[in-house]
Amino acid sequence: MLRKVVDRVRQFRRSEGFKHSVATPIRFSLHARQRLNRSVFAIEIRENSGFFSVMQMVLFILMHCDEKRLTPRISARGGLYGDPEGKIDWFSALFETVRPSAGAPSPRKVRTSTVRDLVQLGFRQRYEAGLRLHGASELFRSYYRPAASVREEVESICKRLDIGESTLGVHFRGTDKKIEAMTVPWGDFCRLVEQTLALNPQLTNIFVSSDEQPFIDFFCAWPFSRPVKVAPAKLLSNGDKPIHFSGYPGLEIGREALVSSLLLSNCGYLVKMPSYLSAWSKIFNPDLPVTLAAPPRPDAFWFPDSQIWAGQDVGGKAA
């Protein structure tokens, strides 16, 4: 009985509502400070969470700026993907702006606010329900694109592994993701991939990406009717510990996550488990057909996977 009470308390403390309430004073102070900048919204992100969880924060900031007609100035330092001293702006190292005015100097002093959690902005409650895949993709790509060196790396890998319109991309996020998504047995997931291949004869090869080496070994041993290529990932999870908590160099983790998402976005079709990484493949390529093998859990039913799940033929496509 006591264990159940403790679990309930822990679940409540992890909830968005609780964290949103606790962060209220920080949120009020942040927005009051940013109003002094008038036309600029300057945020430095120092969040210790997954790479594309940080990208969700970036997307919400862009929605706010678009709504309020503000110029975003977004940087990301420290955290899991920067250096301990916070000298490297890892967001600017991996993305470049497509709007020159976004980086133009301002005649007045710009005050930058530091955020360590999305709740400190208060944007999920304001914008999450209104997010749509094509609109979010158009918004993000109107401000940013991957840095030239990242694009060149992705293009090189696509050529080497023959990734393109005839490729079925597969992404299986394991480790800690079972906390946020329904689990699917590996065999059932492989059968879903087989079903997708049968329904799409134009797909002539498979590209698989995962953070779990045991799953990759299992998948490659499955007797698919198409050749399988494996993502050239150097950084894999350590047991049940996710990659971004496994002690690898931060900027390398972030770059590899971004490259993996972009490689999947270059495929002709994608079958996936819930994951921000592969869901953002749909942001990078809004025309990418996607089948989500299982839904996110109700308390983690977040965009983009929430929209992918809601938009697909659940009875005909999902496991």
User: Which helix (H) or strand (E) covers residue 111, if one does?
Assistant: none
First to last CA, the chain: 35
Q: Which CATH architecture has domain 148-317?
A: 3-Layer(aba) Sandwich (3.40)
pLDDT computed for residue 24 by the predictor: 85
DSSP state of 268: S
Q: Comparing 106 with 191, which gets the higher pLDDT?
A: 191
Q: Above 70 in pLDDT, residue 149? A: yes
| Residue 111 token pair | 């005050």
Question: In 3-state terms, what secondary structure has residue 40?
Answer: strand
User: Which helix (H) or strand (E) covers residue 207, if one does?
Assistant: strand 205-210
Q: Above 80 in pLDDT, residue 316? A: no
Angle at 301 between CA 24 and CA 165, to 5 degrees: 125
Per-residue confidence band for 48, with pLDDT thresholds at 50, 70 and 90: confident
126-147 confidence digits (pLDDT tens): 999 999 999 999 999 999 999 9
183-217 confidence digits (pLDDT tens): 889 999 999 999 999 999 999 999 999 988 899 99
Q: Which among 24-28, 277-281, 314-318 has the top mean pLDDT?
A: 277-281
Angle between helices 51-68 and 133-143 (to 10 degrees): 90
pTM of the prediction?
Answer: 0.85
Angle at 176 between CA 173 and CA 182, to 5 degrees: 65
What one-character-per-residue DSSP string does 204-238 give?
Answer: -EEEEEES-HHHHHHHHHS--SS-EEE---S---B
Amino acid in position 315: G
Residue 66 CA to residue 159 CA, distance in Å, equals 36
Among 19-28, 43-52, 211-220, 256-265, which is the least confidently predicted range? 19-28
Residue ranges of domains in the chain: 2-146, 148-317
Q: Is the peptide bond before 25 cis (omega within 30 degrees of 0)?
A: no
CB 231 within 8 A of CB 208: yes
Q: Which of 99, 105, 81 is nearest to 141 (CA)?
A: 99
Residue 28 CA to residue 121 CA, distance in Å, equals 9
How many residues in the chain?
319
Q: Above 80 in pLDDT, residue 153? A: yes
Residue 274 CA to residue 304 CA, distance in Å, equals 9
pLDDT computed for residue 249 by the predictor: 58
Residue 83 CA to residue 61 CA, distance in Å, equals 23
Q: Which of 112, 92, 125 is nearest to 17 (CA)?
A: 125
Q: Above 80 in pLDDT, residue 11? A: no
User: Which helix (H) or strand (E) covers residue 168, if one does?
Assistant: strand 167-172
Q: List 71's β-bridge partners, or say none.
A: 40
